Amino acid sequence: SGEEIPLVIDGEEITTNLWGVGRDPSRHNEVSYKFAYADFEQVEHALDTADRARSSWASKSIGERAEILHRAAQELSRIRGEAIAAMVRDAGKAPTEADVEVSEAIDFCRYYAEGLDRDGMNDGVEMSPLGIICVMSPWNFPFAIPTGGVAAALMAGNAVVFKPSELAVYTAWQIAQAFWRAGVPKNVLQFVPMPRNEISRKFLMDRRLNGVIMTGSYRTGKMLRELRPDLHVLAETSGKDAMIITATADPDQAVKDLVKSAFGHSGQKCSAASVAIVEASVYDNPAFLRQLKDAAASLKVGSSWEVNSVVTPLIREPEGNLLRALTQLEPGEEWLLKPEPSEDNPCLWSPGIRLGVKPGSWFHQTECFGPVLGIIRAENLEEAIDIQNDSEFGLTGGLQSLDEREIALWKTKVQVGNAYINRVITGAIVRRQPFGGGNHSSMGPGAKAGGPNYLTMLGSWEEKALPQKLRTPGERISGLVEKLCSELPDCAKRIRSAAGSQAKWWMEEFGVEHDPSHIYGENNTFRYIPVKGILARVENMSDDDVAILLLGAKLCGVLLHLSVGEERPWIRKMNGYYASLTVETETELIGRMPEAIQGVRFLRGTDVSEALANAARACDAEVLDRPVFSNGRLELLGYFREQSVSETVHRYGNLIPPPGSFKTDSV
């Protein structure tokens, strides 16, 4: 169209000699606009500007920043039509898929605007912004996800450099303008597309940059970690997600939900159902396979500019793993529905369904990111759960079953961040289903996007006073409290305050399940799953810090591995209280790291060396880079992974009574 999108740095619209082009996937990649790339000079200018501007933005009150975010929500609502058209143009999204993104973006702004006023967030602690945050947006959710990142970073008081995906710059441009019109200064939120070369590398390596919020592949997140081990990385990364269908499922509902989960936005979602694990009696039923094939084959495949299209073009012509998934079968596999490319557009493919996929096979384990679904046969639910959990990822997963015993078993064993029962496994809603996974599906301390703890990761916290909101410790830790106070009488006041705060937040937050939305016909449970263990290098921690760690571990049922350079006899006496102590040098700890942490995600000392932190990250452990707090609302976050469980509890509009509601008199 000849349209040119500039950089915006320090309030000035800038063009350079470096240009990128935006293409429309529905129109055979025709060039629809041009956009300016930053060069080395502009990157330096943007960082200088953000460094100067961040203090003035951070000085605004929580209420002032919240008001601007609410205005941003209004702006996003006002441009809904333009935003939908931008996503159709940039990402090849069907209008229905684009529409829900606008709603999600609005929800992010409104939800994060209230995120720092939550109970407990100001009880003896104070947060300072990290400083400068880069928001790296994805192309597959080009509106909602970057809006959420920008809103969260701004609400926490940070300056933001918005680095959009080069495949969706026009959509990102709409977002940036909406925030500016809402009152965010243009030196606080800068719009800086960069080429993926040494220019981006220089930017990410700069020590003035304090954090990155990104959505992309695990490989990209790992690259960031290797480039800047000290960088705060909050990343939603890859997924290889599965839906289990048992013999007790409603087959009509299961097929409907599976097809929507697998082929919405042509499967270009990290949450998409790439695999279905089907119980043997269902898999062996020709009627089920025929119904599944017909449902997928009936989807309208076409341009995203055709409003009835369901399967729209891929962002680019398939290559690599996706091309292999669409064109090559593994031994023992066959096509239930063979995918076919469009004669007119090499980006457009019809849905494909592979039968006979083996557990542990290439397709089972590989993220492909396109409109192809693999079906695995399982003898029973237990085997299906084992297959579902056998993945390096842990983002979303589903179960189709009407048996309350199967549902209860699956809830206990499934290892995903977002678990869905008798519904689609995509389409998470802010607050209702906070989004994020484990294993290689995320990087960072673990708080979910659109959840109650996300903003806590975007600042540095400091303890200013002992907490005042307390409860009497219960049986889980009362004995340990007295033992610690007896061993450390000079620390007793802080130990008792921390124990009271931990007891309060265990009873009100971490030890109970929540459903903040209370939607009729759907249960949305937010819960905390204890990590397997915590490693803490306590060489430079005070005794009361170590005592607080012991209290948290005992309360949460998490094994605490304490590592120290010199013996502390009082700690030895705590063996049996979910704690073990090893006296060792830091070098010795690094040497035994894989065995010691066993996939744990928390390592903290007040003086963690870079070598120790890097060794932990190399073993996929997260370094929780903050002090030990008496405030249990913050301190206990390090002992858990968050999980959302969403369950449809109606049948065709009729609410299902909870288990045990039907009672009969004995005869």
List, for residues 465-503, the tens digit of each pLDDT value.
999 999 999 999 999 999 999 999 999 999 999 999 999
With CA atoms as reference, report the closest residue to 108 among 432, 396, 445: 432
In whole angstroms, what is the distance from residue 144 CA to residue 149 CA?
9
Continuous H helices in 3-125: 40-58, 62-78, 80-91, 95-113
In whole angstroms, what is the distance from residue 599 CA to residue 621 CA?
6
Q: Could you tell me where the beta strands, DSSP code E, fall in 264-332?
A: 273-279
Q: Where in the chain is the domain with CATH 3.40.605.10?
A: 40-236, 467-645
Number of neighbouring beta carbons within 10 Å of residue 593: 18
Q: Where in the chain is the domain with CATH 3.40.309.10?
A: 241-435
Residue 161 · residue 54 · CB < 8 Å: no
Predicted TM-score (pTM) of the model is 0.95
Q: What is the pLDDT of residue 665?
A: 46
Number of neighbouring beta carbons within 10 Å of residue 76: 28
Sequence letter at residue 371: P
134 is catalytic: no
Q: What is the pLDDT of residue 590?
A: 87
Mean pLDDT by 10 residues, the chain (667 residues): 89 94 91 95 98 97 98 98 97 96 98 94 96 97 98 98 97 98 98 96 97 94 87 94 98 98 97 98 98 98 96 97 98 98 96 98 97 98 98 97 97 97 97 94 91 96 97 95 96 98 98 94 96 86 94 93 90 83 90 64 59 80 84 95 96 78 47
Tell me which H or E stretch contains 529.
Answer: strand 522-530
Residue 268 · residue 139 · CB < 8 Å: no
User: Which fold is adopted by the domain 241-435?
Assistant: Aldehyde Dehydrogenase; Chain A, domain 2 (3.40.309)
Report phi then psi at 3, rounded to 5: -70, 140
With CA atoms as reference, report the closest residue to 640 among 534, 551, 557, 528: 528
Q: What is the pLDDT of residue 612?
A: 82
Q: What is the pLDDT of residue 30?
A: 85
Sequence letter at residue 273: A
Angle between the 40-58 and 198-205 helix axes, to the nearest 10 degrees? 30
Q: What is the pLDDT of residue 616?
A: 81
Pairing mode of beta strands 640-648, 418-421: parallel
Supply 313's token pair.
């073009």
236 is catalytic: yes
In whole angstroms, what is the distance from residue 153 CA to residue 134 CA?
9
User: Which fold is adopted by the domain 40-236?
Assistant: Aldehyde Dehydrogenase; Chain A, domain 1 (3.40.605)
In whole angstroms, what is the distance from residue 657 CA to residue 663 CA?
12
| Residue tagged active-site, from 75, 109, 134, 270 | 270
Residue 29 · residue 169 · CB < 8 Å: no
Sequence letter at residue 113: A
What angle is formed at CA 364 by the lines to CA 221 and CA 405, rounded to 5 degrees?
105
| Residue tagged active-site, from 101, 104, 236, 522 | 236
Number of neighbouring beta carbons within 10 Å of residue 281: 12
**Is the domain defined by 467-645 classed in CATH 3.40.605.10?**
yes
